[in-house]
Each structure stands twice: as C-alpha cells, then as structure tokens.
C-alpha cells in the first residue's frame, strides 16, 4: 500500500534526481579530506549560511551534540529552552558526550526571554559551573518560527558576555521560508548552526554543522571521536547538494498544505486547533473526548492507508512534506470525517 505518511518530515524518501546523483557521485575518502563531493557540499553549505566553514555530519542530533562537545568543556553549563529538541529528544546526550550541565529555562512557544537568559549567565564563584553556550532553535520543533528580534537580542547578550550561541536549525530553511528571508538573515544571529539535509529537503541522510574555520577544525577532530568520520560519504553529499540547491523552494508548498490541513480540521466540531501556530509544515491539535479517542485513530487511519503518530501530551501532530499533495490532504480529511461519523 502507498501510505500517506503524516508522522514527520523525517519520513521523506529521496527524489529521482537524488538517486541518480548518488549513483554517479564522485567519491574519495573523506577522513583523508579526499572526497570532492563532500568538499563541494561543505563549501556550498557554509556559503549559504554565511559561515566560514562547515562539516557534514550523519544526523541532526549528531550535529547538535558535536556543537556542544566542541564549544564546551566538561562541567560547563549550557542555557537553553526547556522544550527544545536538545533537552527533550536527544536522549540526555549532553551528559554523556560533552559532559555538560543543561540550564533549561521557561519558553514561550519556543521563544526564550533574553532577560532570563542573561540572568542565568554565571559569575565568578567557586561554586559555579562556567556558562559556555546558549542554544536556540528555529524553526522550533513545536512548529513555530522564532522572531529575528528574539534571536538578535539573545545573540547580543552572548556577545556582551563572550558566550557563543548555537542554533539548532534542523528546519532552518522552513524558518527562512516562513519569514521570507535569506537563511543568512537568521544565521547572522548565531556562532554555529546545525541544519538538516534530510527532513523536508528529502535527502536520505545527513546534516551540516557550520561556524568559524577554527570551530569547524576543532569539530572535525571531535567528529572523529564520535565515530562520524565517514569515508566515501560523497554518495550522501550528492543528495545533500540537491537538497540545498533545488528542494528548498518546495518548503513553502509544504507550509501552505499544512495550513490548508489545519483549516479543514478546524471546521470539524470538537477539534481544537490554533491556526496561528501553524508556521511551517506542522499541525498540532486535539479532540474533545466525546468526539473520539485519539489513541484509536492511529489504527483506524492505518487501515485506510494513512500513518500518524499517537498523541503526545494530549496532542496529535500531523506533518506535511514534499510527497504529500493537496488531494492527499483531502483524502485524510474525508477519512477522518468517516471515522468520526461511524464511531
Ligand atoms: C529541532 C530538531 N533538532 C534536531 C533534530 C534531530 O535530527 P535527527 O533526527 O536527524 O537526529 C530534530 C529531529 O526531528 C529536530 O526536530
């Protein structure tokens, strides 16, 4: 069965062009610095986000953790939002890999208050860990895009206290599409950035960590410690180049489809949804108990060729992607109405 897969944008498969480019990719041993396709990808990616250098890494989690590992020493402290991906969904890796302490602060739909960030920067005291890094996330995994003003304010606090800012930009290009700006307008407010080539951009594997030359040189060695020194990785970079050059333009369509999906859902009585929160390709909503048991939907949808995740914290999340078209969304809505009517 050809499923409509709304679980995440991580489920995207590579396009025909990517498969062809991967087949033909010129490769070498990247640990020796010999892979021309990786070299091309890393310089293209660095230029795209206006950083001096970049590094190919196997995943977004790898890129974030490598950033912490490179910016920080063991026992340092990292300030970040309580609901960001690094805190919520990276398996406690900062304690294991970089050996740092996280200092999560309250977030308002993903946005952290610059004054609260500044308050938590440690002074000199025998009892205190050293604040080594501030992390922000844009677009946020709650589907919201953080304002450039907020990013600027936080970056300026970092500058004032000589503390670098890392941006988890797994969906950086979704944020840029939403804000209608070049990605460099976002990345100018960070010292390092991780962004994914997979997810909405459809590459099968890979993310990029970008920053200063010195930072990336250090990160390259630490990547080796983490087992991320890949050999003929040009096969993956070939798809990554298409992701960055060609696929970014389709993200707006994913966003429009998500909004359309949200609008259709909002017309169903008993479904609670805030359309203003649909900034990118993610639609969060819940249902009144009398309407339907959300846990049961996973199975019912599956029988009809639709994959969704079960509810998390009482909410369902549907995510659009390149392979999901308007007619698929119409089918999802029609199927949902049928399920609700025959309950
Ligand atoms: C905001 C954010 N950061 C990092 C990641 C991690 O990416 P990966 O799944 O490639 O490790 C994700 C994954 O969905 C994410 O949403």
Residues 6+ apart with CB under 8 A from 77: 100, 101, 102, 103, 122, 129, 130, 131, 132
- Note whether 320 and 281 are within 8 A (CB): yes
Residue 343's pLDDT is what?
A: 65
Residue with tokens 């995740």: 309
Cβ–ligand 1 contact at 65 (below 6 Å): no
**Relative orientation angle of helices 234-245 and 36-48, to the nearest 10 degrees:** 30
Residues 6+ apart with CB under 8 A from 192: 51, 67, 70, 71, 164, 165, 166, 167, 209, 210, 211, 215
Cβ–ligand 1 contact at 142 (below 6 Å): no
Is residue 311 left, alpha or beta, with left meaning phi > 0 and alpha meaning psi from -120 to 50? Answer: beta
Cβ–ligand 1 contact at 204 (below 6 Å): no
Cβ–ligand 1 contact at 7 (below 6 Å): no
265 vs 40: CA distance, rounded Å: 43
| Euclidean distance between the first and the last CA atom of the chain, given in angstroms as a whole number | 25
311's tokens:
């509810």
Q: Give the mutation target among 141, 279, 281 for probing the ligand 1 site: most ligand atoms within 8 A of CB.
A: 141
Which amino acid residue places its CA nearest to atom 7 of ligand 1? 60
DSSP string, 173-229: HHHHHHHTS-THHHHTT-SEEEEESSGGG--SS-EEEEE-HHHHHHHHHHHHHTT--
**Relative orientation angle of helices 251-266 and 326-341, to the nearest 10 degrees:** 20
Beta bridge partners, 318, equal: 283
Cβ–ligand 1 contact at 248 (below 6 Å): no
54 vs 169: CA distance, rounded Å: 14
Mean pLDDT of each 10-residue bin along the chain, 343 residues long: 95 98 98 97 98 98 99 98 98 98 97 98 97 98 98 98 98 98 98 98 98 98 98 98 98 98 97 98 94 89 97 95 98 97 75
- Note whether 85 and 64 are within 8 A (CB): yes
Residue 292's pLDDT is what?
A: 83
Cβ–ligand 1 contact at 90 (below 6 Å): no
């Amino acid at each position: 069965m050809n499923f409509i897969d709304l679980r995440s944008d991580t489920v995207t498969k590579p396009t025909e062009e990517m498969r062809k480019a991967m087949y033909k990719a010129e490769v070498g041993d990247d640990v020796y610095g010999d892979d021309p396709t990786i070299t091309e990808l890393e310089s293209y990616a660095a230029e795209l986000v206006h950083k001096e250098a970049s590094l190919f890494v196997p995943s977004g989690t790898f890129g974030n953790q490598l950033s912490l590992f490179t910016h920080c020493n063991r026992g340092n402290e990292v300030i970040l939002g309580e609901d960001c991906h690094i805190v919520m969904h990276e398996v406690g890796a900062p304690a294991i890999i970089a050996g740092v302490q996280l200092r999560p602060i309250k977030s308002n739909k993903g946005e952290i208050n610059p004054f609260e960030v500044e308050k938590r920067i440690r002074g000199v005291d025998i009892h205190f860990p050293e604040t080594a890094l501030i992390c922000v996330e844009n677009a946020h995994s709650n589907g919201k895009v953080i304002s450039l003003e907020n990013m600027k304010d936080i970056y300026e606090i970092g500058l004032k206290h000589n503390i670098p800012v890392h941006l988890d930009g797994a969906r950086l290009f979704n944020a840029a599409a939403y804000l209608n700006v070049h990605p460099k307008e976002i990345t100018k407010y960070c010292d390092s950035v991780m962004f994914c080539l997979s997810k909405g951009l459809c590459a099968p594997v890979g993310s990029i960590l970008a920053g200063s030359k010195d930072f990336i040189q250090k990160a390259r060695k630490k990547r080796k410690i983490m087992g991320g020194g890949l050999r003929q990785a040009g096969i993956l970079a070939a798809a990554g180049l298409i992701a960055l050059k060609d696929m970014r333009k389709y993200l707006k369509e994913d966003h429009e489809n998500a909004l359309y999906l949200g609008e259709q859902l909002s017309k169903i009585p008993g479904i609670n949804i805030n359309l203003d929160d649909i900034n990118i390709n993610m639609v969060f909503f819940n249902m009144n108990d009398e309407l339907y048991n959300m846990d049961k939907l996973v199975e019912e949808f599956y029988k009809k060729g639709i994959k969704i995740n079960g509810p998390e914290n009482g909410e369902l999340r549907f995510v659009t992607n390149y392979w999901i078209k308007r007619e698929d969304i119409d089918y999802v809505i029609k199927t949902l109405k049928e399920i609700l009517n025959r309950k």
